[in-house]
């Protein structure tokens, strides 16, 4: 995939009803300029796959898209095999799958890790109370260190990118000058997405997301949430969030760096992890 292919990738996103904007494709091509692929028929892009390496800890596969007119021809499977080939020297490869996609990934030796849900609502003022403060650029070094332990790898370039794109959704909770949690967010074609939400406990996660939601009142919002804390899911449901679709975190290989998923309340997105 080359920079000039991003327009075709964006067109496939629109056909599929996906949320990504042009800057999402741009960050893939900045971070993985030689490791994203397109499938073409008669020089027309009919499929895409993107990858990101998180150092030597693990890599990610996302943006597996095929033109509806060209499905059932093995294009998606071939794109996945191309992605796996580009990442052949990585011990662990991860992705987030829909239930239908899971069947394809199982055949490629991926296994289940845990479940997620995409939850959506129209943000309303309601009971949104928060003591979180705005996350500033100079907070990032400490945030990156905090995030690395919980995510399982360093993703500083992505955190910088998402903060730059939508600083009004970035919040931080501290206690005695130590970070207890943070959240970020980004704009999309269909929804504003809040994530990642990384916190020591569900109360802190609720505090952070309440602050972010105050800045998108009346707008459609999504979170891709983990299910380790019942209180977290109960709170989201109480303010109007409902499951839009289930997702499954899967991996291939050793998974030596799982991070601390119980402290990951919402992910950056299925395409990034």
At 55-71, the pLDDT tens digits run 999 999 999 999 999 98
Per-residue model confidence (pLDDT) at position 128 = 86
pLDDT for the residue 126: 72
CA 249 from centre of chain: 11
- Reference 133, options 202, 210, 242, 61; nearest CA is 210
CB neighbours of residue 99 within 10 Å:
10
Rounded Cα–Cα distance for residues 184 and 155 (Å): 13
Tens of pLDDT, residue by residue over 98-117, are: 998 899 999 999 999 999 99
Taking only the tens place, the pLDDT of each residue in 25-34 is 999 999 999 9
Work out the mean pLDDT of the chain and round it to a whole number. 96
Q: What's the confidence (pLDDT) of residue 29?
A: 96
Closest CA relative to residue 187, chosen from 219, 225, 157, 217: 219
- Tell me whether the omega of the peptide bond preceding residue 196 falls within 30 degrees of 0, making it cis: yes
d(CA 260, CA 57): 14
**Where do you find CATH 3.40.630.30 in the chain?**
3-90, 118-266
Domain 3-90 has CATH 3.40.630.30: yes
pLDDT of residue 234: 97
Q: Can you give the three-state secondary structure of the chain, one letter per residue?
A: CCHHHHHHHHHHHHHHCCCCCHHHHHHHHHHCCCCCEEEEECCEEEEEEEEEEECCCEEEEEEEEECHHHCCCCHHHHHHHHHHHHCCCCCEEEEEECHHHHHHHHHCCCEEEEEEEEEEEECCCCCCCCCCEECCHHHHHHHHHHHHHHHCCCCHHHHHHHHHHCHHHCEEEEECCEEEEEEEEECCCCCEEEEEEEECCHHHHHHHHHHHHHHHCCCEEEEEEECCCHHHHHHHHHCCCEEEEEEEEEEEECCCCCCCHHHEEECCCCCCC
pLDDT at 125 over 80: no
Residue range 215-234: mean pLDDT, rounded: 96
Q: How confident is the model at residue 127 (pLDDT cuts 50, 70, 90)?
A: confident
pLDDT in the model for residue 272: 97
pLDDT band at 35 (very low <50, low <70, confident <90, very high): very high
What's the fold here for domain 118-266? Aminopeptidase (3.40.630)
Per-residue pLDDT of 260-271, as tens digits, reads 999 999 999 999
Here the tokens at position 243 are 């499951």
């Amino acid at each position: 995939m080359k920079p000039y292919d991003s327009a075709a990738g964006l067109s496939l996103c629109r056909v599929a009803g996906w949320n990504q904007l042009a800057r999402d494709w741009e960050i893939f091509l900045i971070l993985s300029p030689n490791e994203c692929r397109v499938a073409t028929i008669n020089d027309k892009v009919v499929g895409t796959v993107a990858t990101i390496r998180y150092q030597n800890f693990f890599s990610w596969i996302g943006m597996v898209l095929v033109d509806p007119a060209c499905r059932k021809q093995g294009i998606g499977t071939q794109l996945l095999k191309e992605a796996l080939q580009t990442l052949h020297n990585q011990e662990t490869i991860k992705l987030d799958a829909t239930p239908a996609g899971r069947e394809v990934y199982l055949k490629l030796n991926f296994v289940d890790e845990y479940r997620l849900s995409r939850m959506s609502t129209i943000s309303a003022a309601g009971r949104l109370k928060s003591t979180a403060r705005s996350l500033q650029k100079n907070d990032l070094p400490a945030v990156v260190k905090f995030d690395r332990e919980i995510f399982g790898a360093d993703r500083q370039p992505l955190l910088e990118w998402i903060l730059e794109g939508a600083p009004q959704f970035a919040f931080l909770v501290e206690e005695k000058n130590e970070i207890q949690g943070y959240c970020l967010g980004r704009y999309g074609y269909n929804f504003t997405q809040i994530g990642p939400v990384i916190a020591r406990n569900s109360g802190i996660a609720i505090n952070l997301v309440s602050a972010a939601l105050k800045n998108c009142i009346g707008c459609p919002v999504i979170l891709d949430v983990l299910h380790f804390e019942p209180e977290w899911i109960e709170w989201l449901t109480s303010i109007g969030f409902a499951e839009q679709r289930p997702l499954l975190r899967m991996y291939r290989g050793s998974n030596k760096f799982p991070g601390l998923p119980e402290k990951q309340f919402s992910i950056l997105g299925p395409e990034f992890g």
